[in-house]
Amino acid sequence: MKIKVINPNVTQSMTDKIGVVARMVAAASTEIIAVSPRHGPVSIEGHYDEALSVVGVLDEIRSGEAAGVDAYVLACFGDPGLLAARELATGPVIGIAEAAMHAASVLATGFSVVTMQVRSCIMAEHLTHNYGMAKFCRGIHATDLAVLDLEEPGSDAYRIVLNSCRQALATDRSGSIVMGCAGMSDLCARLQDELDVPVIDGVSAAIKWAEGMVTIGLKTSKKGDLALPIGKLFSGELARFGQQS
């Protein structure tokens, strides 16, 4: 099967890292296609960045449908454009925040989210309510790192993330940690060893969830609000999105 992993920002080093993590957990028969959109922000750290990233995400879904992709993973913890992507896609579309929270909810009775900047905590809180995970989420903690700090060789990012995880476990009395950024995906195994609790990387969780649904023949419903977009004209830079059937 083919799974397209879409990093909604345009930082190639992060996309490459996400692709490595995805391939490590994917089945040998699964082809992982890790991409960034042609246009978008270098990182997603607020509602504005997230909104502007969605057009690029949808572009990648459209090209994936033409290429016969079986499932998609949105590799940003905000899950930008998730429902719009599901309208376009035939196969499953999994957001990494949704996947990570569901995984955490079956591994412990309560989880903590460790994310990037303080403003991201509010966005993550919205997601817990949208996904019905608020009853499992015991706290959301910010490292106050910028997303691109994770891409700097020799930075102190790992130590800062580790300390935030320790504080979250102690404060929240939670039993697992959800990583609140796709850029943290390569840190999870090391953090899990040091913390001795499940540390969930949404990229890995989403890949296995997507594989499972494709394997048992499940596709995105095309009834109701996830039916294909209504065909209409778009103007200006969005003209290429018009006339969807």
Domain boundaries, the chain: 2-96+204-241, 97-201
Helix-helix angle 12-25:202-215, to 10 degrees: 50
Note down pLDDT in tens along the chain; length 245 residues. 999 999 999 999 999 999 999 999 999 999 999 999 999 999 999 999 999 999 999 999 999 999 999 999 999 999 999 999 999 999 999 999 999 999 999 999 999 999 998 999 999 999 999 999 999 999 999 998 888 888 887 788 899 999 999 999 999 999 999 999 998 888 999 999 999 999 999 999 999 999 999 999 999 999 999 999 998 999 998 888 886 55
In words, the CATH class of domain 97-201 is alpha beta
Question: Residue 212's CB: how many other CB atoms inside 10 A?
Answer: 12
Question: Residue 239's CB: how many other CB atoms inside 10 A?
Answer: 10
Please tell me whether the overall predicted TM-score, pTM, comes out greater than 0.85 for this model: yes
- Burial pattern 146-161, b for ≥16 Cβ within 10 A else e, equals ebbbbbeeeeebeeeb
Q: Do domains 2-96+204-241 and 97-201 have the same CATH topology?
A: yes
Task: Decide: residue 166, CB within 10 A, 0-12 exposed, 13-18 middle, 19+ buried.
Answer: middle
> What CATH number is given for 2-96+204-241 in this structure?
3.40.50.12500
